[in-house]
A and B are shown apart, each in its own frame.
Chain A
Amino acid sequence: MRHRMSAVLENPPEIEPVFDLELEVAEKAVAQPDDTGSYTVHSTLEELSGYSVTLDSRTTGGDLGTLLTAQPDLPGVILLEGGKLLGVISQSHYYKCVSRAFGREIFQGRPATLMLEETKDRPLVLSSGCGIQHAVEECLSRPTHLVYEPFVVHEKASNEYRICSFQVLLLASSQIAALRNDQMAQILNSMTDGLLVIDRHFRIGHEYSQAAAHIFERDDLDRFSLLEILAPLVDATVHGQIADYLKVLFNPKLIDKLIKTINPAKQVTARFILPEEHTKYFTLNFERVRSQGEISQVLVQVEDITQQRNLAKELEKQEAASEEKLQLILQILRVDPPVLREFIQQFRDGLVALDRLLQAESSDHLHAWINDLFRTVHTLKGESALLQLPLYERPLHKLEDGLAALRTMAEIKVEDLALISPAVENLRQLDDNMSSALAHLDQLSPRSAAATEKAVPERQGPLMLATRMLEDLSKRLGKPVSFHTTVRDEDLPADYREAITELLLHLVRNAMVHGIELPAVRAARGKNATGTIQFAIKPHPDFHEVIFQDDGAGLDYEKIRRRAAQLGRTLATPEEMHEAIFSPGFSTAETITELAGRGVGLDAIRHTILQRGGSIHVYSDEGAYCAFQILLPLTAAKTGGAA
């Protein structure tokens, strides 16, 4: 029985159907494949569909033929003897046996086990716990002529055998591979990290995370090398450095951790041109993958750090604001608390008025409104200069410029107010910083304000302020001056305290800028080099009389006439000229400085006085003096008079 005859057969005999044979054994033995549709990456042979077809050793070749013919899907049968595996007869092995000369006759009535003697090949038996992928490898490592043969799965616990086809195993394996791919794709798509792999030619691998595509703003990364992707984005020097570094990365002799320190791509600036120009910042981190002593590929992690960078920038800005607060603290520490409070209050009132202006809905009265605010801002600016608060002085000066520009317009429209809104915004920011600076100060020493007030009572109030302003202007303008007054702060009528402070400061500034001459001029005129300013308040039964006088140049009537002519007005009498100097926009100072020359000083004074129901008069002798007499009713008018 050992000699083979199949080799000499030219025409294999036709196989007749074997339906007439008993099928009892076969029918019993056939099992349907297990219903295992979905595999996981951890699936084992336990889940693989197979046939529990075991025949005992008495089954004849004829019975087997009947079974295999009726069940063409059946990969083969398992032959057992006393629970022990004798072997496997696959479809192909059966047909090989029966197709030899007299094969049918030989095997028909004899035990099927006889067919096992026709081959020395043992069936592949795998444990049911074996992983699908591993099983594929096992099957593929069989001799070539057996690669497609079925194999046996052994369930150790129950000592049961199943026969499985290699085709089913391959299908399961490819299903699992697809599943793995899906999972990988899902991971790569949902990763917030940009991840890609490059080979030793720096070519980008097919699998890369969606985030990487997003950062580089292209979906075809795998068609290029990393250097090609970077070339249009980064500057040439950086590109060269990254190129050098990539070469270094593939040198297996280098220590992973200790070359990270020289990674030139820790912060790369990338300029994108399309769809519109924009800049991104990102970090490239490299992880080397070793296989067999070589660096086979490098994992590149791309992280978009634009936001972090912007946050850092924002932080810097905040630090600058803190710096401004600190400066404010330092500056306000020099200012007497009550005076500072007064200034801040006025400043905030001014801000409220400015906000209201910016919300104006119609262009009616905008001119008058802006004139009004211009005066306010001018006053505030003067005071901030006086209090040595440059952080206020500068933005107020800017706003004043804006308002001045508006004032010169023939017709102001609501849209034109946009001209000053950035400046107002700056001031609002400044006020916020001031509030928090003050809060800081309070925290540092809750009673410091009150304590200062008590310790130096003589430093508070308008007269001290005026005196300091005089000293300040005297120094800045180089005009020595002496201030004569018997008025003390407590003499100021309570109703008019604020108004008189404002008046006094205006008049002082006015006198110092326009009135008092430089010492040389005074000497030439035969006057004392040091100028004199007098201030007095006289009580009367139903009004206060405030007198302010300087021994300066007096009103320059010629200049006033010329200035009026420029503005298209003809002035004849001294009264007309006195009236003219109180009108908005009328100034004879030749250059505009932070101190004066915008024609608001006198304008502002009269505005305040008229609002309170009072009156103002000017007396002057050219080259000798200028005096202002202000009359204020005892009971201040609550609503303003004509402006």
Chain B
Amino acid sequence: MKLLIVDDSLIVRSVIERNSGHVAIEESFQADNGVTALQLYNEHLPELVTMDLTMPHLDGLACLREIQAMGHGPSILVISALNSHQTAMEAVANGACGFLVKPFSGPELADAIDQLVQHAQTR
């Protein structure tokens, strides 16, 4: 399985990468904005995506909608600060299948990634 990590913070991206050591993940890609994320998505069609919501160029919600529109149906986990209830609901409505609230701990993240992999495997 392939994992696309979308977050504008290098630190957050590397933390996610370090904690996504699930055996099923063979390859991962990183994008620091929505536009790059879409390019990488198109190129590799990853089954798993982690998505920040507040990013430059193309924000997370718009990016989610675009990915959703491509119709490959990846398992998407939103990893973001819970700024508003509304945003979380929109993310879920736009195809995210889970929400991990920042700040998170390493084990929480690892657990969330495991759940995401499981979700992708059983669909």
Interface residues of A (CB under 8 A from B): 241, 244-245, 248, 251, 253-255, 257-259, 261-262, 264
Decide: A261 near B97, CB < 8 A? Known: A244-B89, A254-B92, A255-B116: no
Task: Tell whether B57 is near chain A: CB-to-CB under 8 Å.
Answer: no
Chain A residues near B92 (CB-CB < 8 A): 248, 251, 254, 259, 262
For chain B, which range describes its interface: under 10, 10 to 19, 20 to 34, or 35 or more residues?
Answer: 10 to 19
Interface residues of B in 72-115 (CB under 8 A from A): 77, 82, 85, 88-89, 92-93, 97-101, 111-112, 115
Decide: A258 near B99, CB < 8 A? Known: A248-B92, A251-B92: yes
Chain B residues near A251 (CB-CB < 8 A): 92
- A–B pairs, 28, beta carbons within 8 Å: A241-B85, A244-B85, A244-B89, A248-B89, A253-B97, A254-B92, A254-B97, A255-B77, A255-B97, A255-B115, A255-B119, A257-B98, A257-B111, A257-B112, A258-B77, A258-B97, A258-B98, A258-B99, A258-B112, A258-B116, A259-B98, A259-B99, A261-B98, A261-B101, A262-B85, A262-B92, A262-B99, A264-B85
Chain B residues near A253 (CB-CB < 8 A): 97
**Bound: A248/B99 CA distance, A:** 12
Chain B residues near A264 (CB-CB < 8 A): 85
Interface residues of B in 6-57 (CB under 8 A from A): none
**Bound: A259/B93 CA distance, A:** 12
**Bound: A575/B86 CA distance, A:** 84
Chain A residues near B89 (CB-CB < 8 A): 244-245, 248, 262
A258 touches which one: B82, B85, B100 (CB < 8 A)?
B100
**Bound: A244/B90 CA distance, A:** 10
A257 touches which one: B85, B88, B101, B115 (CB < 8 A)?
B115
B82 touches which one: A245, A259, A261 (CB < 8 A)?
A261
Chain A residues near B100 (CB-CB < 8 A): 258, 261
CB distance from B116 to the nearest CB of A (A): 7
A258 contacts B88, C-beta separation under 8 Å: no
Closest B residue, CB atoms, query A262: B88
**Bound: A261/B96 CA distance, A:** 13
**Bound: A244/B101 CA distance, A:** 18
Chain A residues near B112 (CB-CB < 8 A): 257-258
CB distance from B87 to the nearest CB of A (A): 9
A262 contacts B82, C-beta separation under 8 Å: yes
**Bound: A244/B97 CA distance, A:** 15
Closest B residue, CB atoms, query A256: B115
**Bound: A338/B21 CA distance, A:** 66
Closest A residue, CB atoms, query B85: A241
Closest B residue, CB atoms, query A241: B85
- Known contacts A257-B111, A261-B82, A262-B89; can you find 5 more A-B pairs with CB under 8 A? A248-B89, A253-B97, A258-B98, A258-B116, A264-B85
- Smallest CB-CB A-B distances: 4 pairs: A258-B98, A262-B88, A255-B98, A261-B101
**Bound: A183/B93 CA distance, A:** 41
B115 contacts A261, C-beta separation under 8 Å: no
Chain A residues near B116 (CB-CB < 8 A): 255, 258
**Bound: A262/B92 CA distance, A:** 10
B99 touches which one: A241, A244, A261 (CB < 8 A)?
A261
Q: Which of A241, A244, A251, A262 has the most CB of B within 10 A?
A: A262
Chain A residues near B85 (CB-CB < 8 A): 241, 244, 262, 264
Chain A residues near B93 (CB-CB < 8 A): 248
Chain B residues near A257 (CB-CB < 8 A): 98, 111-112, 115
Q: Which of A248, A251, A254, A261 has the most CB of B within 10 A?
A: A261
Closest A residue, CB atoms, query B118: A255
